[in-house]
Amino acid sequence: MDKIIIQGGQRLFGTIPVSGAKNAALTLLPCALLTDEPLTLRNLPRLADIDGFQHLMNQFGISTTIAGSRPEDFGRVMTLAATRITSSVAPYELVRKMRASILVLGPMLARMGEATVSLPGGCAIGNRPIDLHLKALEALGATIEMAAGYVRAIAPDGGLPGGRYSFPVVSVGATENALMAAATARGKSTLHNAAREPEIVDLCNLLVAMGAQIEGIGSSDLTIHGVPRLHGATYRVMPDRIEAGSYACAAAITGGEVTLTGTRIEEMDATIQALRSAGVHVEPRADGLHVASDGKLRAVTLATAPYPGFATDMQAQLMALLCLAEGSSVLTETIFENRYMHVPELNRMGARIETSGRTAIVHGVGKLYGAEVMATDLRASMSLVIAGLAAEGETQVHRLYHLDRGYERLEEKLSLLGAQVERVGGE
């Protein structure tokens, strides 16, 4: 099993491009199920999760072709053609490793009138039931059956009629599934308390480019007027705001100066404010975001929240940064109940972090020390890399398959900034 070896203490300096957003791409790919015409996605990141989703789409009989596959390129162009769907079943062996697989449920139901999907897997960061996905689809007119670890959704004859659903809590995935299912419903659908994340906006924009009629894009109240059919489109995946925030933390903890090109600062306001509160200099540039730090970091207090609040996907990376801040920081995780699994590993590196329920208190220390650490999930993995970049000595991060799910060619980008990192094969 591969691991990454980091020789800490190098100040990061330079410019790197921000890749296409993993969380957006995994939502846009299943839109190919909604039309029999080709869908071309540009700026698609090279990630294990993207490869896994491609295999899932192939399982349904969808052809996929890839351009921009040169080893030196970041990002790819993929064209998906669902001219004929040969299966409406997403099997366990493909779904179990990737929670985003549940996002085929809505579009497959809309296209084929039924869909059967294994209960999904993904990072072990807490209980993430799919009940809101199912309730939203039921509100649009579907019948839901569950048996032997699979969910089966069935539309009435003539297709989904559409309907109204108010989410009791904000759910990004359930909003996405409902949007795709409603796009070709026979009537109007309304979604209240819908998620507002930029990835939701990206999905809406692609659906509109395919001929969907959606009102309220960017708000928590969405109205979808179902259309008889959608057509193909060519669309560019939005930049990854979480990747950009992660590299900003890496630059800051090393006292570095990094320009992140191709990002959208208006989608990163909560992350930028958190970094500035911690004493990091962040300013917009014509080509992206400029991050600089003198290494003198301040403690902060904040809580994760649905967009436009501070993203739960940035909590671990900010925590790593705050390990070297002066004073004690207080972080509260409101989204997932088991997202502090990186804490013991950071403490192995000399951090002083205490947790109680959903609250973590990070007592700043003067120095971190390299150690062998184990990645437990995607964002936790990046927090260990960030800590290792600033640590004294050598850090070895094991279980790189987590990082490969969400960070495109991580070690190459870090090397471009002057970090001493190396990927080596495990035993």
Q: Which positions are annotated as active-site residues? A: 123
Flag whether 128 is marked binding: yes
| 224 touches 106 (CB < 8 A) | no
Flag whether 129 is marked binding: yes
Flag whether 379 is marked binding: no
Flag whether 335 is marked binding: yes
Flag whether 224 is marked binding: no
| 140 touches 165 (CB < 8 A) | yes
279, amino acid identity: G
Flag whether 131 is marked binding: yes
| 8 touches 393 (CB < 8 A) | yes
The alpha carbon dihedral of 216, 222, 228, 234 has a sign of: positive
Flag whether 157 is marked binding: no
> What secondary structure does DSSP assign to 234-282, as a single string?
EEEPPB-HHHHHHHHHHHHHTT-EEEEET--GGG-HHHHHHHHHTT-EE
Whole-angstrom Cα distance, residue 122 to residue 299?
Answer: 32
Flag whether 99 is marked binding: yes
Whole-angstrom Cα distance, residue 167 to residue 53?
Answer: 27
Retrieve residue 262's tokens.
């191709």
Flag whether 347 is marked binding: no
Distances, alpha carbon 155 to alpha carbons 69, 112, 152, 185, 211, in Å: 39, 9, 10, 10, 22
Flag whether 272 is marked binding: no
Q: Residue ranges for the binding site for phosphoenolpyruvate?
A: 22-23
Q: Residue ranges for the binding site for UDP-N-acetyl-alpha-D-glucosamine?
A: 99, 128-132, 313, 335
Q: Residue ranges for the binding site?
A: 22-23, 99, 128-132, 313, 335
